Structure 1
Amino acid sequence: MLDVEVSSLGPGVIERALGCLRNGHHAETDVPYATLSSLLERAVEAQASDVHLVPGYPATFRIHGELAPVDGEALAPGDVRRMVEAILPERVRGRLETERNFDCSVAVSSGGQSHRFRANVYLAQGNWCACLRHVPTEIPTLEWLGFPDALAARLASHSNGLVIVTGVTGSGKTSTLAALVSLLRRDASLRILTIEEPIEYLHPVQGGSMVTQREVGRDVDSFADGLKYGLRQDPDVILVGEIRDRETAQMALSAAETGHLILTTLHTRDAKGALTRLVDLFPQDQQDDVRSQLALSLRSIVCQHLLPSAQPGQRRALALEVLHNNLAVQVAIRTGKIETIESAIQTGKREGMFLLDEDLQRLVSAGQVTLETARRYASDPAAIKATKPAW
C-alpha cells in the first residue's frame, strides 16, 4: 500500500498537472501524485462513493447515487494511465501491461488522515480507465447501515452454516459483511479469517477475537485457495469476499457443514436468484447433492439495494429482502422448487423474513424514498402504493 502525503492545493492544480503530464513529465514526479491525490481528497469532501476516470470525459464523482462531473477539461488518452501509475504500489504496476482488468487498494494521506480507495483499472477502446471507490476508514455498524435491530441480532447469533449477502454491484455488500464481522468479534472470542479481493475495511487489533485478513493476488492466489488453506488455520468464521466458481462454492458448503460460519456474497437481485446461482455453478449430475448440502447448511440470505433518498443530498436508503432457513425453505431447496421461495418468505414473517417489495413499501410509507423510485426497484411495481400498507 502506498501512502501519498498531499498538501493544500489551490484552484486549477488538476488542469495544470494534466498539462504537465501531456508535455512529457515522468509518471513518478510529484505532478501526477498531486493530480489524482487532490482529486481523491475532493471526492472525500464531497461524500462521493466513486471516482470515474474515463478518457473523453472530465473526472466524475458519484454522489448519493448520481453522477457529478468535476469542473475541468476532459481527460485525454494517456492521462488516466499516468495518473494511476503514479499511485499504484510497485508490485501491481506491471499488471497494466499484462491484464485488461484488475483490482487493487490505494491509500492516500491528506491533512494527517489516511483515506482508502478500492481501485478497478480496466481497458475501454484500448485506453486505460479507472473507477475508485472510497472505503470509509471507520467500519459502520449494521444499525447505521439501516438494518433492523432484530435482523442484526439474528445474523450475529449464527455460530455455523452459510450466510449470503447478495445484491447488485455497489449495493453495500462489503460494508454489510465488515459490519457483521465487527459485531461478531465484539461479543465473542473468535478466530476470524477474511479472504478479500482487495481488502477494503481494515479490522483493528482489539478485544478477545483475532481477525486475519488475506488479499487475493497478494497473500493468496484465489478465494478457493484461501478457503483450502484457511481451514487449516483454526478458524471459527471465514469471510469469502465472493463466490464466483464451483471450487469456491463446494469448499464453502463443506466448511459450513463441518461447523464453520461462512460469510460470503453473490451478485443477484433477490434470495431466489442467489439460490439458483449457487446451484447452477455445478454440473447437472451434482446439483441434487448440492441442494441437499445447501438445504442443511444455509442460515440466512440478505439481499440489499441502495435507493436514492427522497430528500436531496441525503445518503441512499437501504432496501432489504430477508430469508432465514426453516423447514419450508429446506424443502424448497432440497426439491429444487426454488419458485416457492417467495411464498416461504411471505409465510415466514414471524421469523423475521420479508420480501423486497414489502420493504420498499415500508420506505415509501416512511417518506424515505419516493413512490416512483420504489416502483423502479420492485418486482411488482403496481403493488407499491402511496398509502400506508395493511401489514
Structure 2
Amino acid sequence: MKIHELFQAMAKHNASDLHIKVGEPPIFRISGELVRMKSAPLTAEDTDQLLRGLLSDKQKANLDARGYEDFSQSVEGTGRFRCNVFRSCGALSAAVRRVRPRIPSYEELSLPPAVGKCALYEQGLVLMGGITGSGKSTTIAAILNDINAKRRAHIITIEDPIEYQFINDKSLINQREIGLDVVNFAEALRSAVREDPDVMLLGEMRDAETFETALTAAETGHLVFGTIHSSGAAQTIGRILDLFQPNKHEQIRTSLAFNLRCVMNQKLLASTDKAKPQIPAVEMMFITPIIKKLILEGEDAKVAEALAKDVENGCENYNKVLARLYREKKITMETALAIAPNPEELKMSMRGITISDGGIV
C-alpha cells in the first residue's frame, strides 16, 4: 500500500478526510461518517513508510523537534491535500484533508445569498467562525474568488499550508505559505501590509498580535478576512476581547465597532439530498447600527438578541437558519434540533410562532 493510492481512493469515493493510525486500517470520512478500509491494521512500520516519504528533510526535522508538521501535497491527476502528520503514542499518525480541485461558487456550496455581500466591501474586517472541518476555508475561498472575478484588486493570503490555489482573473493574487514562502506567521503579517494589498486573508486569528494587525490593516483601508474558533457569531466579540488585557478592551471595542463588517459562523449538517450529503448552516451577523452601539457600550449580552431581531440587514441567527433549511426540506427536524442553540424556540419557529418583547406572537 502506498500513500498516493490512498489519496486516489479519497478522490474515487469523494472522501473529505483520511486518518492513518497504528492499529487501525486507513479510515476515510465520507459524507461526514468515518469508514474503515477493508484491509489489515497498520503497524508502526507501515505508518512510517506511508508518511515519511511525503516529508522533505526540513519537514522531518520539524516533525522530530515538535511532534507534528503541517504541509500541502499535490498529486497529478488526483488533486491537492492538506496534511498533518503527528506523533501519537510514539508512532506516526496523520490527518489528511482533500482540497477540491477548483474553488466552488456560492450556489455550488449551497451558501445563503447574503454571503456575497462580504465580497462587496472595500474596507473592514470580516470574520468566519466554526470548528475545524466546518468548511470555513472553502467559504472564504468562494468569497475571495468572487472578488477575483469582479474587481481589480491585489489579494494577499497567508496560509499554513496553502489549500486552494487561485487563478488570477481581474485580481492579482499572491499566496504565501508559512515555512515555504516566509519563515513564520509574525513575519508574514509584518510584511503583508508593505506589499500594497487591497484584500488580505490572514488565516486563523489566534492571538492579540494577529487581531491588532488585522484591525490596523482594516483601519488603513484594507479588506481583511480571518477565521476564529467560536461557538456563534454573537459570542465572537467576547472571544476576541478574551485575547487582550482588560486595560485594552475599550480601545479594541472602538476599533471593532468601526471596522468589523460581518461575523459568520458555520456548521456542516447532514442533508436530505443524497447527491449533496452535507449542507452548510451559516449564521450571519452584519454590524448594524444597533449592534455597533452595543459593542461600543459593552452590552455584549444583548448582541445575540439584536441579531435575532434583525430583519432588514441580512442577519440570520442559527435558529432562523435551521428553521429556513427545515422549511426548504434540506435538513430533517432531528438534525436541526440536535445543533440548535435554543431547541424550544426553534420548535416554535417551525410552527410559525415567534417571540417578541411583549411575549409570544
Report the TM-score when normalising by structure 1. Answer: 0.87
Q: Secondary structure at the match of 1:78?
A: helix
**Separation in 1, partners of 2:69, 2:54:** 15
1:100 aligns with 2:67: yes
Q: Secondary structure at the match of 1:169?
A: coil
* Count of aligned pairs between the two proteins: 353
Q: Secondary structure at the match of 2:315?
A: coil
Instruction: Say if 2:8 and 2:78, in contact at 8 Å, map to a contact too.
Output: no
Give the aligned partner of residue 132 of structure 1.
Answer: 96
Q: Which residue of 288, 304, 318 maps to 2:250?
A: 288
Deviations 1:308-351 (A, max 9, x none): 12345632011111101121111221222211111111232211
Deviations 1:185-207 (A, max 9, x none): 111100110001100000113x3
The Cα shift of 1:72 comes to 0.3
The Cα shift of 1:390 comes to 5.3
Deviations 1:89-126 (A, max 9, x none): 444222221121221101122xxx14110001112222
Whichever residue aligns with residue 88 of structure 1, its letter is L
1:172 aligns with 2:140: no
Give the aligned partner of residue 31 of structure 1.
Answer: none
**Separation in 1, partners of 2:276, 2:153:** 36
| Runs of 4+, deviation exceeding 6 Å | none
Give the aligned partner of residue 358 of structure 2.
Answer: none
Report the TM-score when normalising by structure 2. Answer: 0.94
TM alignment of 1:58-69, pairs within 5 A: 58-69=25-36
TM alignment of 1:236-315, pairs within 5 A: 236-312=198-274, 314-315=276-277
Instruction: Say if 2:67 and 2:86, in contact at 8 Å, map to a contact too.
Output: yes
Q: Secondary structure at the match of 1:333?
A: helix
Whichever residue aligns with residue 340 of structure 2, its letter is A
Q: Secondary structure at the match of 2:201?
A: strand
Q: Secondary structure at the match of 2:235?
A: helix
Q: Secondary structure at the match of 1:102?
A: strand
**Separation in 2, partners of 1:349, 1:222:** 43
Instruction: Say if 1:269 and 1:303, in contact at 8 Å, map to a contact too.
Output: yes
Structure 1: gaps of 5 or more residues = 1-13, 15-34
Structure 2: gaps of 5 or more residues = 355-361
**Separation in 2, partners of 1:37, 1:246:** 39
TM alignment of 1:365-380, pairs within 5 A: 365-380=327-342
Whichever residue aligns with residue 131 of structure 2, its letter is V
**Could you tell me the percent identity over the aligned residues?**
33
CA 1:45–1:384 in 2, change beyond 3 Å: closer, same or farther? same
Q: Which residue of 333, 339, 342 maps to 2:301?
A: 339
**Separation in 1, partners of 2:192, 2:162:** 16
Q: Which residue of 120, 141, 149 maps to 1:157?
A: 120
Instruction: Say if 2:59 and 2:69, in contact at 8 Å, map to a contact too.
Output: no
Instruction: Say if 2:233 and 2:284, in contact at 8 Å, map to a contact too.
Output: yes
1:189 aligns with 2:152: yes
Q: Which residue of 165, 168, 177 maps to 1:202?
A: 165
The Cα shift of 1:155 comes to 1.1
Instruction: Say if 2:234 and 2:307, in contact at 8 Å, map to a contact too.
Output: no
TM alignment of 1:4-15, pairs within 5 A: 14=1
